[in-house]
Structure 1
Amino acid sequence: MHEVFKRKAQRGAVRALAVALLMSAGAGAASAQDKPTVSMAINQSPWLNSFVAMVDQYEKETGNVVELDVSPFGGLLEKIRNSVRASEGSYDIVNVNSLWLSEIYSGGFLAPLADIKADYKLAEGVLSYGNTTNWDSSALTFSADGALLGVPVNGNVQVLYYNTEIYDRLGLQPPKTWEELAANAKKIQEGGENYGFVPRSARDSIVYNFTPYVFSHDAAFFRISGPNEAEVVINSPEGLKALETYVGIATEAGPPGPGNIAQGELIQLIATGKGGQAIAVIAAWGQLQDPNSSRVVGKINAALLPAGPGGTVASSAGHWVAGIPKNVAPEKQEAALAFLDWFAQKQQQVEYVRAGGVPVRGDITSADLGDDAAFGFIEAYSENAQHAVMGLPFANAAEASDAMALSFNRAVIGELTPTQALNQAAADLAGVLERAGFKVSRLPDL
């Protein structure tokens, strides 16, 4: 049986009290346990505890139950694939990473939300992250005119984290360019007390972490050149400069073994004060400000990612969208949508931020949250969200990311030169695009 994130023993007494209060509240109160229990496949992440807090709040307010089946990032997609393809789904809600959205949408596995509740639309103020909540099945792309298939549950983008205590000691300023970031990293490393920069270069996440470097250098992985036609362009001179910059910063002023550092290790190095800077998801903010898990509470700030040579800034879109599969019972679908709609409302989103989550609305401001320093990430989140990009916006994005990750990781650990890595990544990406039905052209090898 899957490891289910159950809190039943803890919550039994609380839920019983909530049920009693709701039943005695009279007309207008939510009916306790008026909807069936729903199960949700979700990832282990820095923002999980914040989401759990909202589930607890929902259960207290309504008496309805949401059970979370928690998986590591690397294992969640396979669980989702197996569930949505089965004759009867194991999950009533699936939490889909931005990288996987095209695959899940294009497969026709999710129920349009307007089919579950007539004319349903996202609440005003909820972000669509480049229309990635909607899918046009005829054009096979994200589109505002497409069917609404999901509700965002975490507004992840990448930001630059830096340790203000280290910065103040060395007289550093937040970098505006990659060159300035590298210079700051060198100064921190030379101090001998901290790592200058912590990369996220493990194979399971290196493509996501590398994406801001690519797009800020005015490069791309591929470009659509016509109907069902694509040109692979990652092995361009701009792409080479991006990878050289990435490898240089990752290897010259950071921890040993950078090719083994995944998100968990990155956050730990920053949270313990060993790392002076890192590019990571904004969802890590809550963990870095939690005295139970961080030694740097009040010493971390977040900023806009550095610009490339032409002044371009880019941040990887890493948000999560919750969808409701077609292969679950109608009453389960209705219960699932009731929870997601409740979660997206402004009042709940303010509480989500207070619990350490990242909002999925564009109308949450400091005025809503107060002057607590714990909410200091809002400005950096908003700035980077304006520059968020989807690096691989096609149905086989996860396969393409996996294919290229090996070459980029080998460049970081020194098994390939950046030139060799880009040429191999381009060949592997071309193969994925061809298998996906594209007529593919490629730049010549570097």
Structure 2
Amino acid sequence: MRMTRYSIVAASMLALSASAAWADVTLGVLIDTNPETIASFDAVSKAYSEKNPGVTFDVEQRAGGSEGDNIVKTRLATGEMPDIFQYNSGSLFQALKPEQTIADLSDLPSAAGILDTFKKVVSASDGRVRGIPFGPAMGGGIFYNRKIYAELGLQPPKTWADFIANNEKIKAAGKVALAQTYGTTWTSQIFVLADFFNVQSEVPGFATDYTANKVKYATTPAALRGFEHVEEVAKAGFLNEDFGAATFDDGMRMVSTGEAAHYPSLTFGIGNIQQNFPDNLQDVGFFAVPGSDATKNGLTIWMPSALYLSAKGDNLEEAKKFLDFVASKEGCELMAKAVPSGPYLIKGCELPKDVPQAVSDMLPYFETEGRAGPALEFLSPVKGPALEQIAVEVGTGIRSAKDAAALYDQDVEKQAKQLGLPNW
């Protein structure tokens, strides 16, 4: 399990010769390694320590993807979770047995300012809220290099057929059409998961029927299509040569610098560009995974991750005070200034006026009725843990899209039974 650790101490504290006497409480924290996560936590923790000089933070960083899932589950199960931890909302949160492992935050004073759409995805089966939003809402779709599009006279596609046509023109021009980064396995899922707006448009009751075990990926053409997308772009020869070993950082570099024209990802990747390629920030645009009907083009959205408190934490009351600050309008606006990559789910919290181009491209989906909808994991508690490995097999030619969808249906069944859902 890959871990790193660092400490956050306010500069004002370090300036005090008697600073050691102020360090009354050290809150343990576990977050992932995403640049946006680190920037957001630095912003709110440093501000909190300046207001409360007796509080410092001991921060550990964990891997993402399935490795990160296992770290979180193991730490909770063994009672070794720090006071505060950051993790997904939605179905992955439900798999943590939150009624037993995560502290109740329903009575935080700032809870009144959290949008109800977010409260739903961090509420346990007992109806109690157990997390606060940490970072912006995200879109799942495709980053594209605007300079390549301008050079070749291309327009952002509204249908999958148009997207494939753009890729063909880019390939014909001798450029890498599409970056894939299976060295970071979670990135392999994007075409499957971010296509859900299109699934829901064609099969409006899919999420409900999926939870009730009435529909399957392998036998629902609209749902199978996401796996077919992974297969199609690989067979078409659109990918970078090192797609099997390349990482998320490589993908963001390629689309930022023009080494590749497209990179499917979640919009938190904007933070990666801000940190590593700030001069290319305006060269990168964004569009939703296109479906079959241009008139129904829309975006699959992800709720932010959340900050949670371990029910067995040593500093529960002080940790609650910190989370109350993070969920306040003041805390939210500190995060929005540090990470202006999407809308925040705290009432009154606004993005800066000057946002990156990819954010400008994304916001109209949120602002237009009917052009955005939640990913399946926020509408159903069922999500199989092996999807990223299965998608890698499709993208590398080991398994067909049809076989992969059937295998994922089996993976989902195991998870549903573990959750004790009816009809499984």
Query: Per the shorter chain, which TM-score range?
Result: 0.7 to 0.9
Work out the CA distance in 2 between the residues paired with 1:154 and 1:312.
Answer: 26
| Structure 1 counterpart of 2:5 | 5
- Counterpart of 1:39, as a letter, is G
The within-5 A match list for 1:41-440 is 41-51=30-40, 52-63=42-53, 64-74=55-65, 75-86=67-78, 88-98=79-89, 99-106=91-98, 108-114=100-106, 118=107, 120=109, 122-124=111-113, 126=115, 128-129=117-118, 131-137=120-126, 146-155=127-136, 156-192=138-174, 194-199=175-180, 201=182, 203-217=185-199, 218=202, 223-225=207-209, 229-235=212-218, 236-252=220-236, 253-290=238-275, 292-293=276-277, 296-309=280-293, 311=296, 313-317=298-302, 319-329=304-314, 332-356=315-339, 358=341, 360-361=344-345, 369-370=352-353, 372-374=354-356, 377=359, 380-381=362-363, 383=365, 386-391=372-377, 397=383, 400-402=384-386, 404-438=387-421, 440=423
Work out the CA distance in 1 between the residues paired with 2:185 and 2:149.
Answer: 30
Q: For the Cα contact (< 8 Å) 1:222–1:230, is it kept in 2?
A: no
Work out the CA distance in 2 between the residues paired with 1:206 and 1:422.
Answer: 14
Work out the CA distance in 1 between the residues paired with 2:404 and 2:197.
Answer: 18
- Counterpart of 1:210, as a letter, is V
Give, in angstroms, the shift of residue 109 of structure 1.
Answer: 0.8
User: Does the residue aligned with 1:298 lie in a helix, a strand or coil?
Assistant: helix
Q: For the Cα contact (< 8 Å) 1:234–1:426, is it kept in 2?
A: yes
Say if 1:162 and 1:325 are closer, same or farther in 2 by CA, change over 3 A.
Answer: same
Give, in angstroms, the shift of residue 147 of structure 1.
Answer: 0.5
Give, in angstroms, the shift of residue 132 of structure 1.
Answer: 0.7
User: Does the residue aligned with 2:100 lie in a helix, a strand or coil?
Assistant: coil
Work out the CA distance in 1 between the residues paired with 2:289 and 2:36.
Answer: 21
Say if 1:40 and 1:394 are closer, same or farther in 2 by CA, change over 3 A.
Answer: farther
User: Does the residue aligned with 1:66 lie in a helix, a strand or coil?
Assistant: strand
- Counterpart of 2:375, as a letter, is V
> Any idea what the Cα deviations from partners look like across 1:50-83, whole Å, max 9, x if unmatched?
1223322322332221221101114333332233
- Counterpart of 2:176, as a letter, is Y
Say if 1:129 and 1:208 are closer, same or farther in 2 by CA, change over 3 A.
Answer: farther
Say if 1:333 and 1:110 are closer, same or farther in 2 by CA, change over 3 A.
Answer: same
Give, in angstroms, the shift of residue 380 of structure 1.
Answer: 1.0
Work out the CA distance in 2 between the residues paired with 1:264 and 1:197.
Answer: 15
Moved more, 43-52 or 204-213: 204-213
Q: For the Cα contact (< 8 Å) 2:203–2:222, is it kept in 1?
A: yes
Moved more, 206-215 or 432-441: 432-441
TM-score (norm 1): 0.78
Give, in angstroms, the shift of residue 296 of structure 1.
Answer: 2.0
Work out the CA distance in 2 between the residues paired with 1:302 and 1:208.
Answer: 14
> Any idea what the Cα deviations from partners look like across 1:143-196, whole Å, max 9, x if unmatched?
xxx11101011233324322111111111112112222222222222221x321
Which consecutive residues of structure 1, in runs of 5 or more, have no partner in the other structure? Answer: 24-31, 138-145, 442-446
Give, in angstroms, the shift of residue 41 of structure 1.
Answer: 0.8
Q: For the Cα contact (< 8 Å) 1:33–1:65, is it kept in 2?
A: no
Work out the CA distance in 2 between the residues paired with 1:249 and 1:416.
Answer: 14
Q: For the Cα contact (< 8 Å) 1:286–1:356, is it kept in 2?
A: yes
- Counterpart of 1:149, as a letter, is R
Question: Quick one: percent identity of the two aligned structures?
Answer: 16
TM-score (norm 2): 0.82
Give, in angstroms, the shift of residue 130 of structure 1.
Answer: 6.8
User: Does the residue aligned with 2:312 lie in a helix, a strand or coil?
Assistant: coil
RMSD: 3.5
Q: For the Cα contact (< 8 Å) 2:135–2:336, is it kept in 1?
A: no
- Counterpart of 2:132, as a letter, is V
- Counterpart of 1:45, as a letter, is N
Which consecutive residues of structure 2, in runs of 5 or more, have no partner in the other structure? Answer: none
Give, in angstroms, the shift of residue 110 of structure 1.
Answer: 0.9
User: Greater helix share, 1 or 2?
Assistant: 2
Work out the CA distance in 1 between the residues paired with 2:308 and 2:74.
Answer: 15
Work out the CA distance in 2 between the residues paired with 1:288 and 1:164.
Answer: 14
